[in-house]
Structure 1
Amino acid sequence: MGLFQEFRQFAIKGNAVDIGVGVVLGAAFSGFIDSLVKDIILPPIGVLYSKINFQDLYISLSGMTYPSLEKAKEAGAATINYGLFITASVRFIIILFTVFLVVRQINRWKKPHQHPLDSMTKKECPYCCMPIPTKAIVCPNCSSTIKKQENKRKAGPTWRIM
């Protein structure tokens, strides 16, 4: 499975431990990632695009123009701050990807410590072909009743019709 597919599954199907780790790591990395985005990543991108400061990208809803977002706020103008949104989005993606990498590594560390008999105590459901516990009577995947296969021979001759 590729890295991108694992990332997508993590983002969609997180469990409580993954979310807890994410909250803690997100809080711990918040200041670091914020500085990384504002001071390292976005300034070179802004230089490439005609010396744009992403934090000064806004739309004034009053119709007036101001030299910066700070001046618009001082004047009390209502603004849509899409530059700050871009900054926050980049920051969020970096934090989410970092948390994913940490949780992915934690899950790799967990695999060797699984019980060695777990893989040997499985059988295949004859109806849906999914692995189920050996002692299962009802398949948890397809809800089919599993008949216990016994190797008893019937008494008397067996007839075949051809």
Structure 2
Amino acid sequence: MGLFHEFRQFTLRGSAIDMGVGVVLGAALSSFIDSLVRDILLPPIGLLYSRMNIENLYITLSGKTYASLTEAKEAGAITINYGMFISTSIRFVIILFVVFLVVRQMNRWKKPHQHPLDSMTKKECPYCCLSIPYRAVMCPHCSSSLEERPAYPKLRIK
């Protein structure tokens, strides 16, 4: 009963649900981007390069020539499929860019008045030497006013 209770608490926290939704959306986004690259972006590029399919570009290590990648695979030839690598690289860059745009927009929705980098920038309080937000005007640890930074911080003896 303890393991089931722990698992239930884990799933009710919200982080597991968020992670599950992220995985499902990531899989859907991946198949969408895969179709976008394979069916829409690569055919015009292949048309520019003398009517070839970029995914069929390959080099055989045996030195023999084959009419297509499918024929080389059927013959059992060892190939370096650099066309597939180019296609996968394009898909990766597009997915990375879309994820960046989604995260950027989510950061704007969370705190529209605050820039996302402001929360990550820290400075040190001159009095207690603890890390605080860069834009803080009062230290949350020692309650010191940070309007003017003294040349030498006061020593506090306890």
Cα offset, 1:72, TM superposition = 0.3
Correspondence list, 1:7-156, <5 A:
20=19, 23-112=23-112, 125-126=125-126, 130-131=134-135, 134-136=139-141, 147=154
One-letter identity of the residue aligned with 1:50? S
Q: Higher relative contact order at CA 8 Å, sep ≥6: structure 1 or structure 2?
A: 1
Query: Which structure is larger by alpha-carbon Rg, 1 or 2?
Result: 1
Say which SS state the counterpart of residue 111 (structure 2) adopts.
helix
Cα offset, 1:25, TM superposition = 3.5
RMSD: 3.6
* 1:26 and 1:95 in contact (8 A); partners too: no
CA gap 1:23/1:95 in 2 versus in 1, 3 angstroms: farther
Gaps of 5+ in 1: 1-15, 138-144, 150-162
CA distance in 2, matches of 1:69, 1:45: 18
Identity %: 68
TM-score, length-scaled by structure 2:
0.61
* 1:57 and 1:82 in contact (8 A); partners too: yes
Cα offset, 1:50, TM superposition = 1.3
Gaps of 5+ in 2: 1-14, 143-151
CA distance in 2, matches of 1:54, 1:107: 37
What are the Cα deviations for residues 95-136 of structure 1, in whole angstroms up to 9, with x where unaligned? 11111111111110111488xxxx9xxx973499x5566143
What are the Cα deviations for residues 135-157 of structure 1, in whole angstroms up to 9, with x where unaligned? 435xxxxxxx95379xxxxxxxx
TM-score, length-scaled by structure 1:
0.60
CA distance in 2, matches of 1:78, 1:86: 18
One-letter identity of the residue aligned with 1:147? K
